[in-house]
Structure 1
Amino acid sequence: MIDVLVIGGGNAALCAALMAREAGASVLLVEAAPKEWRGGNSQHTRNLRCMHDGPQDVLVDSYPEEEFWQDLLKVTGGQTNEHLARLVIRASSSCRDWMRKHGVRFQPPLSGALHVARTNAFFMGGGKALVNAYYRSAEKLGVQIRYETPISELVLEDGKFIAARTESGELIHAKACVLAAGGFESNREWLREAWGVNERGEWPADNFLIRGTRFNQGVLLKFMMKAGADIIGDPSQGHCVAIDARAPLYDGGICTRIDCVSLGVVVNRDGERFYDEGEDFWPKRYAIWGRLVAQQPGQIGYSIIDRKVVGRFMPPVFPGVKADSLPELAEKLGLPVENFMQTLSSYNAAVRPGTFNHTVLDDCRTEGLTPPKTHWAQTIDTPPFYGYALRPGITFTYLGLKVDETAAVRFNDVPSPNLFVAGEMMAGNVLGKGYTAGVGMSIGTAFGRIAGTRAAAAARGAEQSRSA
C-alpha cells in the first residue's frame, strides 16, 4: 500500500508530494488532466507574495509581516483567519530556498509589473516553468505520477481516509491522503447556483470566462461537503478579474488581463462609470474588478484610455479598439454615444490638475464626481483613443474545507487523523473575499508543505500502529 496519496496536480499538490517524499513516505500523485495540461491553475501564475525584513535576492527593500497582514486585511475586509493568515505570511519568508532546491528559478520583477518589486518574487518562465520543475524533481525523487486519473469519491470511516475511487471505479488505498484538487470554478452549473439570478433576470455566471484550467469541477469538494466535512467560505466569492472579453473560455491566463483600468475610466454598456478606477495600486485592486463587472448589465464593461497612458501598463494579448475621436470609439464599441459622451465630458471637467505618477498614490483626482477617481485622474482628450471590452474572468473559488494549522480536514470540528487539504480547496480560510497579487501561491505553498509533512507523519504512525 502507498503511504501518501496526493489528489491534484498544481502547486499545492506538488509541494505536498515533495515534502511527503522528503520525509521518507512513498507517494502517488494523481492528476485529472492529461500530461500536457498538468498543473491546474498554477501553470498560469507568475509570482509568490513574500514577507521579508530586508533586501533578499530578487526582492528589494523590505515587506514585513505586519504590512503583509494589513494588505491582506484590507482586501478581505476582515474576512480572514488571522492565525492561519500569519502562518502563511511567515512561511512565505522561508520557502524560496526549498523551491530552488526543487528547480524553481526566480527573476527580477517584469518591467510591466508595477508596484510588486518589493512584495513579490517572480518565477523565471512563469508558473508553467515552476510546475515543470516540481514534476521533474518529484519524478527524480521517486514520486509516482498518474495523469488522466480523476477521483470521484473517497472511502471514509469516521473521518479517517481509507481509499479513493477513480471515475473508472478503481480503488486506490493509502495510509494518508492530501486533497489539493482545486475549487469549482470550471463547473458552470455550480457557478450558476452560487451566483443565482440578478434583479435584471440575468444569470451572471453564464457570462463568466475561466482564466485557468477546465479540470477544476469541484467534484471532491462537493463530495466532502456531502460527507459532512466542515466548510468555510461563500460560494459566490473568488478570485475574479476583469479580462478581455475576447479571451478563450478556458486557460487564457494572465495575458488576457486588462491592466489599464487604473489609468483611464471604465463604463458599463449604458456608457456610465460605476466605480473608482484609481482607488489603490492595481495589484491590490485588480481582483475586485471581475466582481464589479459581473454586477453590471450583461456582465460587461469597457476600459477607456487615450494616447497619454499607452506604454504605462502591461499590454494585453489583444489590441484595443482604436478610434480618432470619442464618439467614434463609442460607436465602434456599440455604446450609446450620447450617454458615453456625457460621462466622459463630466469626468474630464471634474479632473483636477496634479503631478501624474502612476508608481505612487499621486494627487491627480476628480472633484465633485460620483463615483470619484481618487488617483491617476487625467483628462481623456488625446487621440487616438482605445477601448477594451471586459468580462469577469474567474480564477478560483473560495468555498472550501475548514482547517487549522495542521491542514487536517475536520468533521464536526474533529480533525481527521490522516486526511489533509491544501491549495484552492482550503484557501477560503485565509481569503474570505478579495485578493492581492501572489497570495494564492503563498497559501498553496505553505499549506501544501504542511499537508505533505503531516500526511507522511500520519502514514508513519499508521505503520507503527500495525507493527506494534
Structure 2
Amino acid sequence: MLDQITWDVAVVGGGNAALCAAITAREAGAHVVLLEASPRSFRGGNSRHTRNLRAMHDRPDGVLVEAYGEDEYWDDLLRVTGGQTDEHMARMTIRASAGAPAWMAARGVAFQPSLSGTLSLGRTNAFFLGGGKALVNAYFATAERLGVQILYDTEVTAVALNAGLVRELTLVSRGFPVTLRARAVVVASGGFQANTSWMRESWGEAADNFIIRGTPFAKGTVLRDLLAQDVAQVGDPTQCHAVAIDARAPKYDGGIVTRLDCVPFSIVVDCHGQRFYDEGEDVWPKRYAIWGRLVAQRPDQIAYAIIDAKADPLFMPSVFPAIRAGTIRELAEKLGLDPATLEATVAGFNAAVVPGSFDGARLDGCQTEGLEPPKTHWARTIDTPPFSGYPLRPGITFTYLGVKVSEQAQVLMNDGRPVANLWASGEIMAGNILGRGYLAGFGMTIGTVFGRIAGEQAARYARN
C-alpha cells in the first residue's frame, strides 16, 4: 500500500521538530506522512524529556514574566557558544521564537509558570504543563485530527538523491522493507548520539562511558546517508549538548530527572579527588551544558559532586538519593575515592573561601582566593554534616554534527546548491546555529522555528 502512494510531504522523525513540520505542512493543504522509527509507546524522540522553550518577549506574556529582548537573548547565545554560531540564522530564530508559544498553544500545548528550582528560567523560558510528554501527545493528537498519516516502527534507512532531487525513501516498516515516494521530504530524525560506534570515531573508548539521556533511536542513519551523498556537513562531531548526570542513570532514555543541578553549590572532583573547573562560573542555565563535556574529558569519564547539609535545600534533587556520610573521609570511602586526597581537597577549598553574602539565586560574588581553579560564585565552606556525594557521568542529549541548511531550512549540497525538495529541522541541523555550548530550552526553539519553516516550504513545493 505505502509503495503505491506518492505523498505530498514525507516527514522523517517523530519529535518536536518533525511534528511542527508535519502539522504546518498539513495545515497548508499537503497530504502528509510522518515516519517515526520508534514504537508508539516511545514516540517523540528527545522531545519527550524536555520541559521548556526559550522565547523572546518584549513584555510579560502568558507564563513569561518581565521581558527578554532580542539583544539579551543573542548575547546569552553568543556567550555559551563562544561565537561559534551563525549570527544571521541565530537572530532569525530568536525573532521567530516570539510567536512560538501562541502557535503551540493553538495546537494543544499547555503552559505553566516555572516552578522553584527550575534553573531560574521564569523570565526566559516557557514551561510545558505536563512536560515534554504532554507536548508530544498534544502535537500527535493535533496531527491525527488534521489527517496526518503516522507510521510507527518505521525507520528510514536511505534517502535516494539524484540530480538534486530526493527520488524516494527506503524504509523498514514494522519489519518489512518499503520504498516510499514523496514530492517533498523533511528530515527531522535527530543526531547520532545513540550510535556508540559512530561516537567512538570522535571520542575513542571514552564514548563507552557516555550515557544517552534521550531516545535510543537516534542512530544518525539518515544523517550518515545524506553526508555520504555529498550533502554539506556542518558542525564538529565532538560537540554536543552534554550535561553532567547521575552516573547511576540507565544507559538510554533516563531523561531530565537524571540531571544533577547541585554543581554550583558543590565542589566537583575527578576520580583522583582533585577539582578541575570553576563550579560557580556563571548562573546554571548558561553553564549546566558544559559539564557533560568536562566530565567526558576526565579520567574514566567520572566525577563526583561534594556538598554539605547547607546546600541540600538549594537544588532540585536527583531521582537517585545522595550518598551520605558523617565525615569527608567516610564519604570518600563510600564513593571509592582516596580518603586522604579528598580530605585535603576539601580542606584546601575551605581555607580559600572568602566570607561573603551568599545568594543562591544570583551571581553573589562569594568566591575563593588563591585557589586554582577558583570558584567565583556560591563558594561556601563544606563543613556541616551530613556530607553528600553524587557520582557524575557525561549525559549526551544530542550531537551537533548535521546537514547544512539555508535560512529556509533547505538542505544544501557541498557545492552550495540546494536539494530542490529536501528540508531539515531540529537536531539534524542544529549545528548551523549551535557550534558548541548550549542555552537551556534553545534546542526546542530551533526545532519549533525550523520545523514550521520546513513544513511550510515543503508544502509549497509539493503544491507547485
Q: TM-score per shorter chain, which class?
A: over 0.9
Deviation by residue 1:415-444 (Cα, 9 ceiling, x = unmatched): 111100000000001100000100000000
Question: Partners in 1 of 2:160 and 2:179 — Cα distance?
Answer: 9
Match of 2:462 in 1: 459
> Deviation of residue 206 (structure 1)?
0.8
1:302–1:387 contact (8 Å) kept in structure 2: yes
Match of 1:208 in 2: 210
1:155–1:161 contact (8 Å) kept in structure 2: yes
> Deviation of residue 159 (structure 1)?
2.0
The DSSP-based 3-state class of the residue aligned with 1:150 is strand
Question: Partners in 2 of 1:193 and 1:2 — Cα distance?
Answer: 37
Using the size of structure 2 for normalisation, the TM-score is 0.97
Deviation by residue 1:239-293 (Cα, 9 ceiling, x = unmatched): 0110000000111111000100000100001000000000001111010000000
Residue of structure 2 aligned with 1:48, choices 48, 53, 70: 53
Residue of structure 1 aligned with 2:169, choices 147, 164, 171: 164
Match of 2:201 in 1: 193
Question: Partners in 2 of 1:310 and 1:106 — Cα distance?
Answer: 29
Match of 1:317 in 2: 319
Match of 1:146 in 2: 151
Match of 1:389 in 2: 391
**Percent identical across equivalent pairs?**
60
Question: Partners in 2 of 1:54 and 1:12 — Cα distance?
Answer: 27
Deviation by residue 1:190-245 (Cα, 9 ceiling, x = unmatched): 0001113xxxxxx2101000000000000000000000001100001000110000
Displaced runs of 4+ in structure 1, greater than 2 A?
none
Structure 2 unaligned residues grouped into runs of 5+: 1-5
User: Counterparts of 1:1-16 in structure 2 under 5 Å?
Assistant: 1-16=6-21
Match of 2:408 in 1: 406
Residue of structure 1 aligned with 2:447, choices 431, 444, 452: 444
* Deviates most, 92-101 or 35-44: 92-101
Structure 1 unaligned residues grouped into runs of 5+: 197-202, 462-468
> Deviation of residue 114 (structure 1)?
2.9
Match of 2:141 in 1: 136
Given residue 424 of structure 2, which amino acid in structure 1 is its aligned partner?
A: V
1:293–1:390 contact (8 Å) kept in structure 2: yes
Match of 1:180 in 2: 188
Question: Partners in 2 of 1:219 and 1:114 — Cα distance?
Answer: 34
Does residue 26 of the first structure (1) align with residue 34 of the second (2)?
Answer: no
Residue of structure 2 aligned with 1:270, choices 269, 272, 277: 272
> Deviation of residue 391 (structure 1)?
0.4
Question: Partners in 1 of 2:86 and 2:349 — Cα distance?
Answer: 40
Given residue 338 of structure 1, which amino acid in structure 2 is its aligned partner?
A: A
> Deviation of residue 403 (structure 1)?
0.9
Residue of structure 2 aligned with 1:76, choices 77, 81, 85: 81
Deviation by residue 1:9-32 (Cα, 9 ceiling, x = unmatched): 000000000000011101000100
> Deviation of residue 311 (structure 1)?
1.3
Given residue 442 of structure 1, which amino acid in structure 2 is its aligned partner?
A: T
Does residue 424 of the first structure (1) align with residue 432 of the second (2)?
Answer: no
Question: Partners in 2 of 1:29 and 1:274 — Cα distance?
Answer: 45
The DSSP-based 3-state class of the residue aligned with 2:96 is helix
User: Counterparts of 1:354-393 in structure 2 under 5 Å?
Assistant: 354-393=356-395
Question: Partners in 2 of 1:115 and 1:128 — Cα distance?
Answer: 22
The DSSP-based 3-state class of the residue aligned with 2:332 is helix
Match of 2:338 in 1: 336
Question: Partners in 2 of 1:159 and 1:217 — Cα distance?
Answer: 25
Q: May I ask how many residue pairs the two structures share in their alignment?
A: 455
